[in-house]
Structure 1
Amino acid sequence: MDCGDPPPHISGMTLHTATLEIEGMTCGACVAHVEKALKSAPGVRDARVNLATERAELDLAPEANLAALAQRVEEEGYPARRQTFEIGVGGMSCGACVAHVEKALKKVPGVLSATANLANNRATVEVLAGAVDYATLAAAIRAEDYEPSPVENAEPLETREKEAARLKRDFWLAAAGAVPVVALEMGAHMSHDFASAPHATLGHQTPMFLAAALTTFVLAGPGRRFFKLGFGSLRRGAPDMNALVALGAGAAYLYSLLATFAPNILPEGARHSYFESAAAIVAFILLGRWLEARAKGRAAQAIAALGALQPKIAHVRRETGAIDLPVEEVRVGDLVEIRPGEPIPVDGVVVEGASHVDEALMTGESLPVAKKPGDPLIGGAVNSAGFLLMRAEKVGAGTALAGIIRLVEGAQGAKLPIQALADKVTAIFVPTVLGIAALTFALWMIFGPEPALSLALVNAVSVLIIACPCAMGLATPAALMTGTGRGAQLGILFRRGDALQTLAGVKTVAFDKTGTLTEGKPQLTALRAENLSDDEALALAAAVESRSEHPLARALVEAAHARGLATPDVENFAYQPGLGVAATVGGKKIAVGSGEFMAALSAHSPALEAEAEVLAGQGASCFFLAVDGRATAVFAFSDPLRPSSAQAVATLKKLGVDVAMLTGDRAATANAIAAQAGVSEVFAGLKPEGKVEILQNLSLRGPVAFAGDGVNDAPALAAADVGLAMGTGSEIARASAEVVLVGADPVKAAQAVALSRATLRNIKQNLFWAFGYNVVLVPVAMGALYPWNGTLLNPALGAAAMACSSLFVLANALRLRSFAS
């Protein structure tokens, strides 16, 4: 299954896509700054930045330079994550070899530096993470006739885990410094005895000096990142969340230094220190960042789990026998041995041996599937007890598993229409907060009681700290990332992220019949012929239908083979979409198809037509055979309903979704199947263009989804608001759909609707919390409650509340990991 999309075209120009992994983004304002910087760069046609995945997806013209783009975002204060590959290089023997390898690697877009070492036969390559993979680097080395081999390749999840570990360390360091300061300062407010004890033991000045020293350690050590990034964003005129923290904590710290070491500069009533606020702000925000990093890692585990299914080693057969090679080194055409109990490394076909293979990952089939020579194998599936020798046909990024991972990553990196509001707000949010903080300071200085300066500072700092837009920036991508990841685990693959929002609002789901609601494996159950024998009729029909891929055509051919009939040669084959097929066989004009096809050919037989009506009323599908313009036989096929079809229909109805069935089959057959499935709205006798017309009419009620699997379903899948392609169907069907349902279970269509609704509901909850939190608490931070009950918000508590808002959003999003139906 090739799940990738073709590169877009603009005015005849072919664009290529690239990915940058970007560090330092902490809120929606950061996302807006990075997108603005990238979109204004030469060669960038579009840029989509995702806070949850920390990635920028770029559409680039040929002249674009990835290294320059990385430099551009670094100048904005958001460094592009880099990755180092250690690659073994065989065949180097002199300095010229080293120069050739280095030159070849440096030509690869996204490579920042490359050095080769003749002593250890290795090349060290620094690349932009996400933009270059091992296979590309290996191909560049191999093109110079050297042999690459992987030495080390850190996984993205490992990078996230390292970042979480760094944040954990920094939080505990900040907490170690902040707790004594908070105890000294806050304890004095809570207990007179506690307040007097340090002064009695250490003197009046020593506790203050100790608080200053500890706070300096917290801000200069673990809190240094906020000042470095925050003041950098201020210099660029694009303040972000780090700027709010730096200004808030920095102002409290500097004010406290004055109150401690130069108190005469301040009015007598304003000589208060706020070291505890500055230290606690940094500690609380680092705690929030650490927990966020852990939550992001959990949200990304769906992709990591998919990647873990890919084996690391393949047993590749060479002239001297089987050798173990890294799976990245398997080439198309290689013969690969798969031993009992081992996973299949790449996609291919069996050339020797027999076994059963567990393909539940890709097809949803719970039972192992028998495999023999000629049968396809899917990378990531698991061999059972037998030995298999396979020929590799798709490797690396071309495998079905790699395609699924690309689908999930693409969907997770998408932006939903609902996020547009959050993007607009966060783009202006931080400058607005700075203005509100300045206004707060001015109002308290003008109208506040004494000590006005101290109160003005506390409230201004509280506004800066509590109004962080982190939760707004995470609200949509965190839920989308988790929801699409859970969908991948359930076999629901969103090819486009925005399809999730559209699917959540569908009013009608229309199903194709054959192969979607039914098994798609019909069998010939009845045959009646006139003026020729049954075998003669079947041989003629099978000869013509052997050129067709229709399920009923395959059933005819299989029935002829089962009877041991020889099929004559066919000439002048023609396919009539939605009607049937025609050809010349032995000088006779043969047509096989629907009753409508027979009518168009004026090939009538009242007896056969009556027989077809009876059979169709029993749920059978019927084809006619015409010889030289005369109807001479009718074939009846039974295609049983899938066991889960009725459940899928019932579930959709419980969700308040109308269900319809669209089919090219006769009305009597369609109605019989619909009755078994519980579908009340049936449209039968449709050609492919007829299905499109029906979908357009159904869309007048609201958005429509269509689920199908065949080549003839492609127009309907493309025309529907959301196309749901069954994973066992044709490549064309999957390419035309927005959502791929792995396997053949129609219940997945209902699950997809339920999951999309749960995800969208989660997003709305997150956005409501994120906006509501700021709407309610910013006025409190400004001191709105002070005239009524004397309440002011301590900046340290504001930092804790800010951290909690982001954690609430992430925790709420992670609830989607337990979605069941």
Structure 2
Amino acid sequence: MTEQFAVTGMTCAACSAHVEKAVSRLSGVQSAPVNLMLGSMTVTYDEKAVTESDIIAAVKAAGYGASPASQTDQGQLRRDQDAALRRRKKHLIWSVVFLVPLFYLSMGHMMGLPLPQVLHMHPLLLACLQLALVIPILILNRNYFTVGFSRLVKLSPNMDSLVAVGAAAGLVYSLIEMGLLAAGQVSGMPDLYFESAGMILTLVTVGKYLEERSRGKTTGAISALLALAPESAMVRRQGQELTIPTEEIVAGDTVIVRQGGRIPVDGVITDGHAAVDESAITGESLPVEKVPGDAVTSATVTSSGYLELRATRVGGDTTLSQIIRLMEEAASSKAPISRLADRISGIFAPAVMAISLTAALLWAFVGGMDVRFCLSIAIAVLVISCPCALGLATPVAIMVGTGQAAQQGILIKSAESLELLHKVQTVVLDKTGTVTMGQPRVTDTLCAPGVTEEELLCVAASAEKPSEHPLAHAIVEESQARHIPLCPVSGFRSVPGGGIQATLSGEAVLAGNAGYLAQNGVSLAAMEADAHRLAEDGKTPLFFAESGHLLGCIAVADVVKPDSAKAIAALRRMGRRVVLLTGDNQRTANAIARQIGVDQVIAQVLPQDKAKCVAQLQQQGQRVAMVGDGVNDAPALAQADVGLAIGAGTDIAIESADVVLMKSSLLDIPAAMDLSRAVLRNIKQNLFWAFFYNSIGIPVAAGVLYPALHLTLNPMLAAAAMSLSSVCVVSNALRLRGWKPPAFPDQPAPTAPLPESAVFQSQGKEENTVNKTIHIDGMMCTHCTGRVEKALNDLPGVEATVDLDSKSAAVTCTPDVSDDTLRQAVEDAGYHVTGIR
């Protein structure tokens, strides 16, 4: 199982590396990535081999605190973090207050600033004043010593350990010199490091404060989402309206939301009407009209109107909670590019301490330098080293990137998928519901001479209204959209495989395919050519006649989404190969492909073969992204290098995908790839800076320039540089907050799809199978074939492909599947089997 834990006490990247190492050592733990910014750890483990308490004990043994995230109040945790930031700011201000006079007393004379004559005459008094001024700084910043030395005792030193050892070394040396001065064994003013210790602690605190403040901005997207959830809500219980905390709402409660109010939970409207602003969740800027029966989502806002809704998902099950969880999981996961930095962070602190000691000893015994010089070298090496810059390089960029994506309606579930997105070479698109709307719409109306479109639609919709067929619904919806009034009909009868007949105002009305109307003596000669053209375009032409005279033809099809062609053109301009994958027949698939301009069409694919198709593309050396929305797309989404699910799709598809497109727009695919490229570029910049800084800073601090240039690095400058390095990395990552989806130009003229690989040939079928052909009556469109295919493919041991033109299904099944079973499945779907061979 996978569980998230809240981890406390971590101060730098070395800490997160120690926690991860401590938990990963446990038998049964598969992975335990730790996120320093969120203070979280996501552990995947075998619950039979290790328990939750074992994991918490391992973290505590490493010197940190842990608790299950489910038992942690995230809101309180963030409030505690804000309070800690304010406390650090206060400590910083007071540290500066004491540091300024300390610096003046110790360094003022070097700058020509006057000191009281009494201090020149009494060096011990000056030393005591410096000690008195540094003590408050030590107390204010004691956390570096308590944490640093405790980690050192546990043999897991971190950045605090480096600072603590460096500052303590200067303090101990200064106290010894001060003791010798008091004993009269030193004449004049000795070399003291009180100001260096105070300056180191203060500068490191400056860096920590700026870093934590910047890191707070990187989690701004999650904080903004948390702020969307209202703290209280109004519910109706036992006839009374009560205001209760949002977390006390239970499934089934009636929740009341008035104008301007935020919807606290997911639910279904039972009463009222409102325009709901869903921009926080979907990114859609225009409010959506909601009426009884419509679903609403938590954290959306009623911009006008009044709603009563039945709560269906509450607490951690709401859409908002799931989005926040996905973002936190993405931020907690590790991108492959971060592995080198993670390995280095784990051994960084002890390596630096070894380098510091070695440099000091070499300068003492080989270079012949005095104690002050060697101590300065050792302290400079300790304080300039910064494992945080390495450890923060990847997670801060990923956190900001996934936050920006979420604000644009793109949910990225893992750092690995974010890294892989811009490396994808082939994008495979499911057709129905992904490229197309997923439901039939009226596309064309052809009227006979003397008949208007309004008259044709009035007769057609009136006659089709009693029908349950999807094509009938499309015609009725079109008439409603045009506000065309309908007429009452009588004698409605559906004819399987043909159409319908009814009586309207005493006149006999016929509707259906060309064959049905021809059988009833209606001449279609005037529209045969147009009907053939519509069929070639993948549309279903339906003819309508009244009293034996043709009124016209209405074409219905699953239309392409408005932005699909534009998105595909953008992908091709980015150098991606685009493949349309569908179970539809070849003619319909080619018609859609001509509209959107894909590189290749793979048609007549059985639902269970979609994953095999993706695997075949991967075997050709392609890195593949799969985009889908249905249950049958889930295996292909899991098989692909990156799976992208349409937000309006099924729960299982969304669960199987690595990325969820909340706006259900294909334009978010090239946008996500552009963001992936921007994040990876930012990570590489951060890693380069972190490696460059440490590879240059540590040798300079160790004194490599001294023999040639007589240049050494003052410990105070080293502390300033160390603080600056982390701030630079975080600040660079914050530049990603300015990322916006690129403006994609209008698509060029679509190009014809490639003819090869047009029909997917399933491989690896069981040898012990039989092939059958089922002849079916009653199918009129691709939605009919889809129903029959689903009914047959739901049978164990059956694979079926249905062809509308031949009115047949090609079935491959195991010998134990009888003809009666196949016949029953088709007839249960509402169609008639005329024969099986």
Class of the TM-score when normalised by the shorter of the 2 chains: 0.7 to 0.9
What is the DSSP-based 3-state SS (H/G/I as helix, E as strand, rest coil) of the residue aligned with 1:415? coil
Q: Check 1:697–1:43 CA distance in 2 against 1; reply closer, same or farther (3 A cut).
A: closer
1:182 is aligned to 2:96: no
**In the TM superposition, what are the counterparts of 1:194-593 in structure 2 within 5 Å?**
194=113, 203-219=122-138, 221-262=139-180, 271-451=190-370, 453-525=371-443, 555=474
**In the TM superposition, what are the counterparts of 1:597-636 in structure 2 within 5 Å?**
614-618=533-537, 620=539, 636=555
User: Among 4, 20, 37, which residue is 1:52 paired with?
Assistant: 37
CA–CA separation in structure 1 for the residues paired with 2:54 and 2:348: 29
Report if the CA contact (8 A) 1:163-1:293 is conserved. Answer: no
CA–CA separation in structure 2 for the residues paired with 1:41 and 1:570: 68
How far the C-alpha of 1:346 sits from its partner, in A, is 1.1
Q: Check 1:182–1:661 CA distance in 2 against 1; reply closer, same or farther (3 A cut).
A: farther
Deviations 1:184-215 (A, max 9, x none): 333343x3x33766666674332222222222
**Aligned-residue CA RMSD (Å):** 3.9
Deviations 1:544-594 (A, max 9, x none): x67xxxxx79748979998989998999xxxxxxxxx99xxxxxxxxx99x
Deviations 1:268-299 (A, max 9, x none): 99952222221111001111111121112111
1:34 is aligned to 2:19: yes
CA–CA separation in structure 1 for the residues paired with 2:347 and 2:475: 66
CA–CA separation in structure 1 for the residues paired with 2:259 and 2:311: 18
Q: Check 1:482–1:691 CA distance in 2 against 1; reply closer, same or farther (3 A cut).
A: same
Deviations 1:705-757 (A, max 9, x none): 12222333323322221111110122222122110011222111111111112
User: Among 163, 167, 189, which residue is 2:84 paired with?
Assistant: 163
Which residue of structure 2 lines up, in the alignment, with residue 8 of structure 1? none
Which residue of structure 2 lines up, in the alignment, with residue 20 of structure 1? 6
User: Among 668, 675, 679, which residue is 1:755 paired with?
Assistant: 675
How far the C-alpha of 1:678 sits from its partner, in A, is 4.3
What is the DSSP-based 3-state SS (H/G/I as helix, E as strand, rest coil) of the residue aligned with 1:349? strand
Which residue of structure 2 lines up, in the alignment, with residue 102 of structure 1? none
Q: Check 1:310–1:623 CA distance in 2 against 1; reply closer, same or farther (3 A cut).
A: farther
CA–CA separation in structure 2 for the residues paired with 1:563 and 1:30: 75
Uncovered stretches (5+) of structure 2, i.e. residues with no partner: 447-458, 481-485, 499-511, 514-525, 544-552, 742-837
What is the DSSP-based 3-state SS (H/G/I as helix, E as strand, rest coil) of the residue aligned with 1:386? strand
Uncovered stretches (5+) of structure 1, i.e. residues with no partner: 1-14, 81-127, 135-152, 529-533, 547-551, 572-580, 583-591, 594-606, 625-633
Report if the CA contact (8 A) 1:359-1:382 is conserved. Answer: yes
Report if the CA contact (8 A) 1:706-1:723 is conserved. Answer: yes
What is the DSSP-based 3-state SS (H/G/I as helix, E as strand, rest coil) of the residue aligned with 1:519? strand
Identity between Structure 1 and Structure 2 (%): 41
Which residue of structure 2 lines up, in the alignment, with residue 76 of structure 1? 62
Letter aligned with residue 343 of structure 1: R
Q: Check 1:45–1:724 CA distance in 2 against 1; reply closer, same or farther (3 A cut).
A: closer
CA–CA separation in structure 2 for the residues paired with 1:720 and 1:804: 41
Letter aligned with residue 129 of structure 2: L
CA–CA separation in structure 2 for the residues paired with 1:513 and 1:623: 23
Larger radius of gyration: 2
Aligned residues: 690
Letter aligned with residue 704 of structure 1: V
Letter aligned with residue 58 of structure 1: V
Report if the CA contact (8 A) 2:254-2:308 is conserved. Answer: yes
Letter aligned with residue 163 of structure 1: A
Q: Check 1:185–1:509 CA distance in 2 against 1; reply closer, same or farther (3 A cut).
A: farther
CA–CA separation in structure 2 for the residues paired with 1:817 and 1:721: 27
CA–CA separation in structure 2 for the residues paired with 1:367 and 1:42: 52
CA–CA separation in structure 1 for the residues paired with 2:594 and 2:661: 24
CA–CA separation in structure 1 for the residues paired with 2:533 and 2:117: 99
How far the C-alpha of 1:527 sits from its partner, in A, is 10
CA–CA separation in structure 2 for the residues paired with 1:663 and 1:519: 14
Q: Check 1:25–1:567 CA distance in 2 against 1; reply closer, same or farther (3 A cut).
A: farther
CA–CA separation in structure 2 for the residues paired with 1:302 and 1:739: 17
Letter aligned with residue 256 of structure 1: S
Report if the CA contact (8 A) 1:24-1:77 is conserved. Answer: no
Q: Check 1:59–1:200 CA distance in 2 against 1; reply closer, same or farther (3 A cut).
A: closer
Report if the CA contact (8 A) 1:341-1:385 is conserved. Answer: yes
User: Among 737, 754, 761, which residue is 2:657 paired with?
Assistant: 737
CA–CA separation in structure 2 for the residues paired with 1:503 and 1:567: 54
Greater shift after overlay, 308-317 or 40-49? 40-49
Q: Check 1:669–1:72 CA distance in 2 against 1; reply closer, same or farther (3 A cut).
A: closer
How far the C-alpha of 1:463 sits from its partner, in A, is 0.8
Greater shift after overlay, 558-567 or 667-676? 558-567
CA–CA separation in structure 1 for the residues paired with 2:429 and 2:117: 76
Q: Check 1:24–1:341 CA distance in 2 against 1; reply closer, same or farther (3 A cut).
A: same
Greater shift after overlay, 402-411 or 166-175? 166-175
CA–CA separation in structure 2 for the residues paired with 1:429 and 1:266: 40
CA–CA separation in structure 2 for the residues paired with 1:568 and 1:199: 115
Which residue of structure 1 lines up, in the alignment, with residue 755 of structure 2? none
Letter aligned with residue 354 of structure 2: G
CA–CA separation in structure 1 for the residues paired with 2:84 and 2:48: 34
Which residue of structure 1 lines up, in the alignment, with residue 567 of structure 2? 648
User: Among 689, 697, 722, which residue is 1:777 paired with?
Assistant: 697
Which residue of structure 2 lines up, in the alignment, with residue 725 of structure 1? 645
Q: Check 1:496–1:623 CA distance in 2 against 1; reply closer, same or farther (3 A cut).
A: farther
Deviations 1:227-262 (A, max 9, x none): 111111111111111111111111011112222321
Which residue of structure 2 lines up, in the alignment, with residue 140 of structure 1? none
Report if the CA contact (8 A) 1:541-1:556 is conserved. Answer: no
Which residue of structure 1 lines up, in the alignment, with residue 556 of structure 2? 637
CA–CA separation in structure 1 for the residues paired with 2:652 and 2:477: 24
What is the DSSP-based 3-state SS (H/G/I as helix, E as strand, rest coil) of the residue aligned with 1:343? coil
CA–CA separation in structure 1 for the residues paired with 2:423 and 2:597: 22
CA–CA separation in structure 2 for the residues paired with 1:268 and 1:212: 19
Letter aligned with residue 39 of structure 2: E
Report if the CA contact (8 A) 1:340-1:384 is conserved. Answer: yes
Deviations 1:317-372 (A, max 9, x none): 12342111111111111112221221212111111222222223333433222222
How far the C-alpha of 1:439 sits from its partner, in A, is 0.9
Which residue of structure 1 lines up, in the alignment, with residue 802 of structure 2? none
What is the DSSP-based 3-state SS (H/G/I as helix, E as strand, rest coil) of the residue aligned with 1:522? strand
Letter aligned with residue 69 of structure 2: G
1:809 is aligned to 2:795: no
Letter aligned with residue 391 of structure 1: R
CA–CA separation in structure 2 for the residues paired with 1:722 and 1:662: 16
How far the C-alpha of 1:437 sits from its partner, in A, is 0.9
What is the DSSP-based 3-state SS (H/G/I as helix, E as strand, rest coil) of the residue aligned with 2:711? coil
Length-normalised TM-score, structure 2: 0.75
Report if the CA contact (8 A) 2:236-2:242 is conserved. Answer: yes
Length-normalised TM-score, structure 1: 0.76
